């Protein structure tokens, strides 16, 4: 008996579709890899930049810093957001309560982001990471310059000291 065209076509289609679909794992692995890198880059925990040439003072404070403009003051240089602004030696020799090169950089950063109404009351937030061996007069100049540039909400970065364990009381009965 002769098969009709329709029957032949259906038989061909059944043979072709009999194996079922397969899953392409290569594309799936690419998607997961991109997702992992995206999550690693955009993690929400804020860590303060650290440099080997800055030794922070120790504190028992438990507050974590928020992400904000950071000034690092080391023995050799003053950095704003990781970029050198002025050497520490030049800053020490300058007279007056402000550092003009630092103020210029902070004014530039302030002009890039407008203040929200809450920030207008408190001032712009800034974190100063100063080596524990720098003189207070230099730290005072950095803080004064920051305040004059509109960064009034100043935080000083410290290294967190672990609270000491209280010895357990031994009682006898």
Q: What is the pLDDT of residue 6?
A: 92
Could you tell me the residue ranges of all domains in the chain? 58-160
pLDDT above 80 for 12 = yes
State the DSSP code for 121: H
Q: What is the pLDDT of residue 119?
A: 67
| Averaged pLDDT for residues 36-52 | 68
pLDDT in tens, 58-115: 666 666 655 678 888 888 888 888 888 888 888 888 888 888 888 898 888 888 877 7
pLDDT above 60 for 162 = yes
Q: Which strand (E) or helix (H) includes residue 137? A: helix 136-148
pLDDT above 50 for 173 = no
pLDDT above 50 for 132 = yes
Between CA 125 and CA 62 the distance in angstroms is 18
Mapped onto helix, strand or coil, the DSSP state of residue 160 is strand
Q: Cα dist. 173→4, 104, 166, 170 in Å?
A: 102, 70, 22, 10
pLDDT above 80 for 57 = no
The percentage of the chain sitting over the pLDDT mark of 90, rounded to a whole number, equals 3
- 58-160 under CATH 3.40.50, yes or no: no
Higher pLDDT, 134 or 167: 134
pLDDT category at 44 given cuts 50, 70, 90 is low
Looking only at the bridges linking them, the beta strands covering 153-156 and 125-130 are parallel
59 beta partners: 160
Higher pLDDT, 167 or 137: 137
The percentage of the chain sitting over the pLDDT mark of 70, rounded to a whole number, equals 75
DSSP, residue by residue, 36-83? HHHHHHT---------TT--PPEE---PPPPS-EEEEE-SSEEEETTE
Confidence (pTM): 0.57
């Amino acid at each position: 008996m002769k098969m009709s065209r329709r029957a032949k076509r259906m038989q061909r289609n059944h043979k072709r579709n009999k194996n079922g679909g397969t899953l392409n794992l290569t594309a799936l692995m690419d998607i997961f890899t991109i997702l992992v890198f995206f999550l690693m880059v955009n993690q929400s925990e804020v860590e303060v930049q650290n440099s080997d040439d800055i030794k922070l003072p120790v504190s028992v404070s438990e507050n974590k810093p928020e992400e904000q403009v950071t000034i690092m003051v080391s023995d050799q240089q003053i950095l704003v957001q990781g970029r050198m602004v002025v050497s520490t030696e030049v800053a020490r020799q300058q007279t007056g309560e402000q550092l003009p090169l630092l103020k210029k950089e902070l004014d530039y950063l302030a002009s890039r982001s407008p203040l929200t109404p809450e920030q207008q009351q408190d001032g712009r937030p800034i974190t100063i990471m100063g080596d524990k061996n720098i003189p207070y007069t230099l730290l005072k100049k950095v803080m004064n310059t920051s305040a004059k540039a509109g960064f009034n909400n100043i935080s000083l970065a410290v290294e967190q000291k672990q609270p000491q364990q209280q010895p357990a009381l031994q009682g006898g009965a």
